[in-house]
């Protein structure tokens, strides 16, 4: 059984049919890249998988349990962690606090709200009491997590470690994106959802991020990745799912998807006008081949 299955997802926004029956699978330890032109529905799909929004039809199954329609904070507790397309760090929190916050769901015996009615109130009272009293066990847990945060940040060399106590708003754009990824890793996700992790990064920074993703892959991290830089996709993805106008147009290994004519059509248009499409194809080809 797959780790994550997306089955027949539909989503409408007013009159727009944004997703038209999208299905794909993600296996344990696999990296799947979602590609497609702007407006294809990639981020919409991400929002549905991370339960930020709910699908109109279809189901999303994580570890054999349906998660679609869950509140987003419970999806996080099931082991889904995401980064955001535009980078959403907590600006006035330090790098350390940002990443510690990623581990919030792991403090479950503190923060879990239980499932029986009324349990939420009791657990909330307990959480208040403990955070005021701060028993030894509690402080040890924080200390261990802080150590772990240093480990996670060492992934990025000395990009973030020296800035541990700086507020996130003072970081460079690339460092904010790294902080975001570190925060997602602190959740110890079953599935890591990366929405354009290298958007706005220069080539060196992109290569570094690519290296980080490969390292995560070697550790067995399952990942779903949205990315426009096909070079990166080719380097890290086990499989590629190409979306256009809310539909999966082609999926398979990077090699097969890269040479599929439907993908080229999706990016540059149909071959109605032989000359225009041919020249457009010639323009796109080097970037696909790269």
Residues in contact with other proteins by the rule CB under 8 A? 50, 52, 71-74, 76-77, 81-82, 84, 88-93, 97, 100-102, 104-105, 107, 110-111, 113, 120, 124, 127-128, 130-134, 138, 142, 167, 169-170, 183, 187
CB 230, min distance to other proteins, A: 27
Closest CA to 3 of 226, 239, 224: 224
CA gap 189, 102 in Å, rounded: 10
Phi and psi, residue 191, nearest 5°: -125, 130
Toward other proteins, which CB reaches closer, 121 or 283? 121
Q: How far is the CB of 289 from other proteins (least distance, A)?
A: 36
CB 176 within 8 A of CB 83: no
Q: Report CA Rg, the chain.
A: 21
We find the least distance from the C-beta atom of residue 178 to other proteins, in angstroms, to be 15
Least Cα distance to 105 among 231, 38, 174, 189 occurs for: 189
């Amino acid at each position: 059984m797959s780790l994550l299955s997306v089955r027949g997802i539909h989503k409408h926004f007013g009159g727009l049919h944004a997703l038209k029956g999208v299905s794909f699978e993600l296996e344990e330890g696999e990296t799947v890249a979602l590609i497609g032109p702007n407006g294809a529905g990639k981020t919409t799909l991400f929002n549905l998988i991370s339960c930020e929004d709910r699908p109109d039809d279809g189901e999303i199954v994580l570890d054999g349990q349906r998660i679609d329609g869950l509140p987003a904070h419970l999806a996080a507790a099931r082991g889904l962690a995401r980064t955001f397309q535009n980078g959403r760090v907590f600006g006035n929190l330090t790098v350390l606090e940002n990443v510690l916050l990623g581990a919030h769901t792991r403090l479950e015996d503190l923060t879990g709200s239980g499932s029986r009615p009324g349990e939420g109130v009791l657990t909330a009272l307990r959480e208040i009491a403990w955070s005021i009293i701060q028993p030894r066990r509690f402080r040890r847990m924080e200390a261990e997590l802080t150590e772990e945060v240093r480990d996670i940040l060492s992934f990025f060399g000395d990009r973030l470690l020296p800035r541990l106590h700086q507020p996130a708003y003072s970081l460079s754009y690339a460092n904010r994106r790294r902080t975001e990824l570190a925060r997602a890793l602190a959740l110890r996700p079953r599935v890591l959802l990366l929405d354009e992790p290298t958007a706005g990064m220069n080539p060196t920074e992109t290569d570094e991020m690519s290296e980080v993703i490969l390292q995560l892959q070697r550790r067995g991290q399952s990942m779903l990745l949205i990315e426009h830089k096909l070079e990166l996709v080719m380097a890290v993805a086990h499989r590629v799912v190409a979306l256009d106008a809310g539909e999966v147009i082609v999926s398979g290994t990077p090699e097969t998807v890269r040479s599929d004519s439907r993908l080229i059509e999706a990016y540059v248009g149909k071959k109605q006008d032989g000359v225009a499409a041919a020249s457009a194809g010639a323009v796109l080809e080097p970037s696909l081949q790269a």
